[in-house]
Structure 1
Amino acid sequence: MKNKNIFFVGTTASNLYLFRKDFIVSCINKGYQVYALVSEYDDTWLEKIKSLGAVVITYELSRSGLNPFHDLKTLFQLKKIFSTYQPDIVFSFFTKPVIYGSFAARLSNVPNVVGMIEGLGSPFTEHPQGQLFKMKLVQFFQVSLYRVVFPFIDKIIFLNEDDPKDLVVSKKIYHRKNAIQVLGGIGLNLEDYPYSPWDISSNISFVIVARLLVEKGIYEYLAAAKIVKEKYPNVYFKIIGSLDTQNPSGLTQDELDNVIQSGVIEYKGFTNQIAEELKNSSVFVLPSYREGVPRSTQEAMAIGRPVITTDVPGCRDTVIDGVNGFLTPKWDVNALANKMMYFIEHPEQINIMGQESYKMARDKFDAEKVNIKLLRIMDICN
């Protein structure tokens, strides 16, 4: 009897490898042949995916485009692939793959269709100045397409409890009975982020790991850092992440250059050595406006760092306020600065709360435990 086939439908090859690697291996260990569909790639990442034992198939997808003809082309391309290979399970993640991958799977009579909504993204993210008309329009189209496709999906997986309320319940989107499932964070291999207490002889430093976008709270982080730096000049503030110059809500190169020249922050850029950077930092900060469940926060927790983040969907799933860090109101620069100064004035709390972060990461975000739960949700049994 031939192995059953499971198709992962994602976007970038690097993302699929970095965030789905452990689950791909779990599926292979269950006797499934894994096919990985990616739309943005280079040879290095394709080879990494193949090294796991998966078969890679490339397809065309415009992640952020609004051209319906391009999206229809994607739909029919995916349908052709599914009709050819006849998968037993199609597992799609991110907005467009969930919409078009799931629809194509149902048109191809795939018996088990699963979609994961890892976060509601920009169209559902509030901004202090209100939401742009374009984002309202994108939300309208997304919701309209979800109305079409959700009734065809066997399992619709969210990472936090708020997202299905804000999308499915609030928008009254019809779905199959018992289709909605909440996974929690997608998890990480704790061996890649070993627990390491902060060296109390080091200067205190704060770090954010994120793309430099408005929605990640980068401006709030910079403003709070400036306030704290004026009072405590020996404290360090680090930024790890890349500029997104194509995104209109991103930090510009000129803005970044000015901040670096001011001496307020140390800019590390993009790095593959996240664990080492987190180990060499005292406190992790993410003043995001909305998340699924942020992986960067999970990584910091695993290493044993306290977390300051916002009391918004996804972020609040990583912190018990006053136990492993602090939750602050979104957009509140002064509250953020005050919690930073708390750790400067009470440095003994860094390792105390960091230990609690590690315990939470071990209990909630261990990839082995998360993957077992995900396998059960997808009805992939022994």
Structure 2
Amino acid sequence: MKILIIITDYGSFNNFLAELAVSLSYQNEIHIVCSDSNVINIVDKYDYDKYNLTFHTVDIPRSTSILKLVKSASLIRKIVERINPNLIYAHFTTGIFPTIFFRKRNVKYWGAFHGLGMNASNGIRQIMFSIVELFCFVRLDKRFLINKKDYKLVSNIFNKNTLKYNSCGVGCDIEKFNKDKYTSLDKLHLKQELNIVDKFVITYTGRFVEFKGFDLVYHSFVKLLEEFPDKIVLLLIGGRDPIHPTGLNEYEENDLLKNKNIINIGYTSQVEKFLAITDVFLFPSKKEGLPVCIVEALAMGVPVVTLDERGNSDVVQNDYNGYLVKSVSKLKDVDEIVEKLKHLCSNKEDMYRLSANCLKNRQLYSRSFFVEEQLKHIDDFKKIMLN
């Protein structure tokens, strides 16, 4: 069977869908359409040349430019006509919309929404996302959602062929994200290397963008630092996004570079190594489907402080494996985040309790659940097609 997987950029494919594509390639001819950009810039998980995978490069815009979207839609349609797949499986609204725009007859189209824009935007952006996503819902044969809030919204409108992932989003590699792989000596050496021995470590993973709460991370940390001078450190794992602002002003941007208590690790394929020395994972994002970085932190036994928003609240339980902060305003959100971080800095027993609770559910975080679930859906589709 020929399957065409479409996702916005190569970095996202490599990070989120590599295992699924490789698993499918053993019994199917797999084609992947994506832009060649590495928004999530990590080392390739596989030598893809060794598998039955063919990549097709299309500049799929992550913006709302209609002209660029129509251009990418036209290129995708030409690839579809050339390949003539049995199934097209597109991911993210930005990947689904140009895929479905020039829909080809006699081909089944599935779409996985990793966080709806209509459910996480306001004003004109919410109107634009609603139009685009409703258009996608109507034209898709099957719709997948990865969190409860998005699923409830879409299934109330389109109750047929609308499904929610049973897995924790796309999950993570729990063999890799395993705290038991790191001895006390391993962690001490890494802390010595970073010159943060005896420091309380707060970590953020992701793009440095405002809608992921990056500005809240910075302001919360700086405020906490006033109360715990030279006792805490912030590890930043990830990097800037050229099309989205950080939410920081010029002074704050300069401090981000000069502050000796902020260590910018950059993008790395060894996130788990730094989570092994992390006390608290801070990810106050408002715009998530179901964040992989939170799943990775929980799998490593690291308590999470995040906003009480869709996706985040699917995996973080308040005062069980972390803290959920009700978002009110940026100033109040910062104050509440600081209170939670201050509590954990000062109460080791509570931190250890939350950490132990993280590990109780770590089997649920496995990416293998996501892959097995998707393989089952595709296998069922293949049986129907053959009959």
> By the TM > 0.5 criterion, same fold?
yes
Q: Is 1:278 the counterpart of 2:283 in the alignment?
A: no
**Structure 2 stretches lacking a partner, 5+ long:** 189-197
Q: Secondary structure at the match of 2:179?
A: coil
What residue in structure 2 maps to residue 6 of structure 1? 3
Q: Is 1:194 the counterpart of 2:201 in the alignment?
A: no
Structure 2 counterpart of 1:89, from 56, 74, 87: 87
Q: Which amino acid aligns with 1:178?
A: N
CA shift at 1:48, angstroms?
4.2
Structure 2 counterpart of 1:306, from 283, 303, 316: 303
1:197-208 counterparts in 2 under 5 A?
A: 202-208=198-204
What is the aligned-residue identity percentage?
22
Q: Which amino acid aligns with 1:359?
A: K
Structure 2 counterpart of 1:328, from 315, 325, 328: 325
What residue in structure 1 maps to residue 32 of structure 2? 36
Structure 1 counterpart of 2:162, from 176, 179, 190: 179
What residue in structure 1 maps to residue 194 of structure 2? none
Q: How many residues align?
A: 360
TM-score w.r.t. structure 1 length? 0.84
Q: Which amino acid aligns with 2:128?
A: F
Counterpart CA distance in 1 for 2:155 and 2:127 is: 13
Counterpart CA distance in 1 for 2:208 and 2:373 is: 33
Task: Please list the CA deviations of residues 17-44 of structure 1 after superposition, one character each: whole Å capped at 9, or x if unmatched.
Answer: 1211111122124x111111112248x8
Q: Secondary structure at the match of 2:207?
A: coil
Q: Which amino acid aligns with 2:178?
A: P
| 1:381–1:224 distance in 2 versus 1, CA, 3 Å | same
| 1:151–1:320 distance in 2 versus 1, CA, 3 Å | same
Counterpart CA distance in 2 for 1:152 and 1:227 is: 48
Q: Which amino acid aligns with 2:361?
A: M
Quick check: 1:283–1:306 contact (8 Å CA) kept in 2?
Answer: yes
Counterpart CA distance in 2 for 1:61 and 1:345 is: 47
Task: Please list the CA deviations of residues 169-225 of structure 1 after superposition, one character each: whole Å capped at 9, or x if unmatched.
Answer: 5xx5xx472334344411122122123489598432111112112212222222222
Task: Please list the CA deviations of residues 215-237 of structure 1 after superposition, one character each: whole Å capped at 9, or x if unmatched.
Answer: 12222222222232222221222
Task: Please list the CA deviations of residues 310-339 of structure 1 after superposition, one character each: whole Å capped at 9, or x if unmatched.
Answer: 101111112111111111122411211111
Task: Please list the CA deviations of residues 34-85 of structure 1 after superposition, one character each: whole Å capped at 9, or x if unmatched.
Answer: 111112248x8698443443111122322214133x3223223222221222
Aligned-pair Cα RMSD in Å: 2.8
Quick check: 1:159–1:182 contact (8 Å CA) kept in 2?
Answer: yes
Residue range with higher mean Cα deviation, 192-201 or 90-99: 192-201
Q: Is 1:125 the counterpart of 2:123 in the alignment?
A: no
What residue in structure 1 maps to residue 77 of structure 2? 79
Q: Is 1:372 the counterpart of 2:372 in the alignment?
A: yes
CA shift at 1:294, angstroms?
0.6
TM-score w.r.t. structure 2 length? 0.83
| 1:250–1:47 distance in 2 versus 1, CA, 3 Å | farther
Q: Secondary structure at the match of 1:92?
A: strand
Task: Please list the CA deviations of residues 117-165 of structure 1 after superposition, one character each: whole Å capped at 9, or x if unmatched.
Answer: 00124x6535xxxx5xxxx434333322333332231211111011234
Q: Secondary structure at the match of 1:238?
A: strand
CA shift at 1:262, angstroms?
4.3
Q: Which amino acid aligns with 1:339?
A: K
Residue range with higher mean Cα deviation, 239-248 or 340-349: 239-248
